[in-house]
Amino acid sequence: MRFLYIALMFFLVACQSDKVQLAFGTVLDSQNYILQTSLDVWAISPEGDSSSEHMRTDLKVASTLTQLIVYDDGSAKYELHLDSVEYSSDKRSVEEVAYMEKYLRTQTFRYKIRSNGIMDTIFPMEEYLAIKGVNDLQLPRLFVKLQPVLPEKNVSIGESWDGAFSDSSSGEYTTVYKTFRLEDVFYRGGLQLAKLSMGVRYRKNEEDESVKLESKDYLVGKGTLLFDMTKGQVFSVDLELTGDLIVDDKLNQTRVPNLKVRQVLKMERQEQE
Amino acid sequence: MKFGSLLIFLFLCFIVSVSARTPFPMKPNGATYFLKKSESPYLLEDNFVLAAKDTLKIEAGVVVQMGSLAKMLLNGTTEISGTSVNPVQFIPSDSSESWNGVHFISTTTPFSVKYLVLEKAFRNTVSHADGIFEGTQFIDNYYGVRVNASPKVIFKDCLFERNRFALSVASSKIEVENLSIRRNVFGLYLEGGVEFIGSQAGIVENMEADIRHGSVAGGKERVPLSVWQRVETAF
């Protein structure tokens, strides 16, 4: 009986030791990230033939993310500054592309992240305002999609958790649902990394004076995230997002009933010398 | 020696004259900004936001030089009071560079812009606002001005010249009087939902088109550029 008790205790301790804690670092630090995205959108013709129209845009930004302050509850305030921008779009003129690059380079954002990774508030610097009716890119949206939600308790390999948070970067609230699963924990280059599979889903429903834009169903994304457990930072993340949209062009009083969207996002931390 | 002293004196005068630019004032919310000719030229290098409770008044003859990243977002009461002899000028600080532009957004009271020269901006916009442009010249901008979702904007004795897209209007009512849109690449673009009151006789001699209607007109595309770009920004 005593042997069984000891064996049970040993088993419980062994189980506990398989669990890992995923938490953001609390040491003030700056990290450099490269973010790359590509967006393909197809307007499928009613016949579904080769007359479908297509848009392709690519964006690559080098950014510096600085942890400004860590609060007692584990939340922290960050500042995101863009160091360089490369942008291209087949639906914008050369001058507009140049403007967009210049405009993005001037953007700096501050935001607060809770200890589990949920982004609370985005504070655009310099009282930046999205200009209604002007189609400028919204960078915070990209980072919201890639930001992980970390489990509130220790987890073992194979365990899943989920989280949801609001994206209000466009001025309208969208709830983004995310699911995660711890796939592996391993060492690389002196760092302990946790490999997470990530699922994202949300509905798109936006409207202004010119356009009403809604998703037919959930936009769905799948990806992989490497979390640096040593420093408590995102090491890399990739995500592919797909879905169908219906767009009402209110200015021309027409409907685009079938837009297929595919967005690929990759972000990787750059190791400092 | 006398000649050398004179040279030094002239050099110092030159330095003083070059550097004599007043930084654009920045104040807490609820402030009144009054830009005077005696303190002109002003230099705006970055963003200026006129909050809803703020007031901006600019007297005749004031020159505001814009750095390449300069942008004016005007939410509050705006009165620009140039005259035909002493216009107010918003011009780039470096003539080889453009600047961002002026944006009238949801202004709390109708804006009043008289005899303003707006030169070499990337884009000027009026959105959810009403007001009057009188004697205003939109010169060598990429987008002269785009009016969107605005209840009533008046263009009186205005000139658009050497812009790529001179005047674009969407979901708005505009009234024009003695409007001249000449020698631009594209003249007037009526995107949809527009009530246009006044004569279009002064919209002539534009290189590609004087007046366009609807989506990027003439193409076989079913989806307008504005819709593609809107979808892009949603992601």
CA angle A220/A63/A36 to nearest 5° reads 40
Cα dihedral A113→A119→A123→A125 (10° resolution): 70
Q: How far apart are CA B113 and CA B136, in angstroms?
A: 7
A14 pLDDT band, cuts 50/70/90, is: very low
B216 pLDDT band, cuts 50/70/90, is: very low
Most trustworthy range by pLDDT among B46-50, B89-93, B218-222: B89-93
3-state secondary structure at position A141 = helix
The answer on pLDDT for B107 being more than 80 is no
Closest residue of chain A to B233, computed from CA coordinates: A137
pLDDT at res. A30: 86
The backbone region for A30, taken as left when phi is positive above 0, alpha when psi lies in -120 to 50, beta otherwise, is beta
A222 pLDDT band, cuts 50/70/90, is: very high
A133 CA: distance to closest CA in chain B (Å): 6
Q: What percent of chain B is modeled with pLDDT above 70?
A: 89
Please report the beta strands in chain A, taking only residues with DSSP state E, as ranges in sequence order. Answer: 30-43, 53-70, 76-89, 108-113, 119-124, 160-167, 174-188, 191-202, 205-207, 211-215, 219-228, 233-249, 254-270
B58 pLDDT band, cuts 50/70/90, is: very high
Q: Which residues of A touch B232 (CB under 8 A)?
A: 39, 41, 55, 57, 89, 91, 135, 137
Q: Which residues of B touch A206 (CB under 8 A)?
A: 234
Put simply, the chain B residues between 147 and 166 with a CB less than 8 A from any chain A CB are 148-149, 164
A160 DSSP β-pair partners: A181
pLDDT at res. A170: 56
Q: Which residues of B touch A127 (CB under 8 A)?
A: 47, 49, 73
Identify the residue with better confidence: B68 or A5. B68
Q: Which CATH number fits domain A26-270: 3.30.70, 2.30.230, 2.40.128, 3.90.550?
A: 2.30.230
The answer on pLDDT for B203 being more than 80 is yes
Contact status of B31 with chain A (Cβ, < 8 Å): no
Mutation pick from A239, A248, A252 vs chain B, by most beta carbons of B within 10 Å, is: A252
Mean pLDDT of the region B88-95:
95
pLDDT at res. B12: 58
DSSP string across A36-98: EEEEEEEE--TT-STT-EEEEEEEEEEEEEEEEEE-TTS-EEEEEEEEEEEEEETTS-HHHHH
Q: Which residues of A touch B226 (CB under 8 A)?
A: 135, 210-211, 249, 251
Which residue reads 């990290």 in tokens?
A31
Q: Which of B69, B148, B191 sits opposite A106 (nearest CB)?
A: B69
A257 CA: distance to closest CA in chain B (Å): 11
Of A155-164, A193-202, A236-245, B188-197, minimum mean pLDDT range: B188-197
Which amino acid makes up residue A87? Y
The answer on pLDDT for B143 being more than 50 is yes
Mean pLDDT of the region B166-182:
94
pLDDT at res. A47: 65
Put simply, the chain B residues between 100 and 119 with a CB less than 8 A from any chain A CB are 100, 103, 105
B178 CA: distance to closest CA in chain A (Å): 27
Structural domain boundaries of chain B?
20-233
Identify the residue with better confidence: A14 or A174. A174
A156 CA: distance to closest CA in chain B (Å): 33
Contact status of B170 with chain A (Cβ, < 8 Å): yes
Under a CB-based contact definition with an 8 Å cutoff, are residues B82 and B46 in contact? no
What the block records as the tokens of A221 is: 């994304």
CB contact under 8 A, B193 and A250: yes
Mean pLDDT of the region B190-216:
87
CB contact under 8 A, B233 and A137: yes
Q: Which among B195, B139, B186, B192 has a CA at the least distance from the CA of B164? A: B186
What DSSP designation does B56 have?
E
Q: Is pTM beyond 0.90 here? A: no
Mean pLDDT of the region A132-158:
81
Under a CB-based contact definition with an 8 Å cutoff, are residues A17 and A222 in contact? no
Mean pLDDT of the region A30-57:
84
- Phi then psi dihedrals of residue A28, to 5 deg: -60, 130
Q: How many CB pairs under 8 A join A and B?
A: 131
Mutation pick from A54, A107, A209 vs chain B, by most beta carbons of B within 10 Å, is: A209
Q: Which of B170, B225, B231 sits opposite A247 (nearest CB)?
A: B231
pLDDT at res. B19: 55
Which residue reads 């291209």 in tokens?
A88
Closest residue of chain A to B235, computed from CA coordinates: A141
Closest residue of chain B to A241, computed from CA coordinates: B235
A226 CA: distance to closest CA in chain B (Å): 23
pLDDT at res. A13: 47
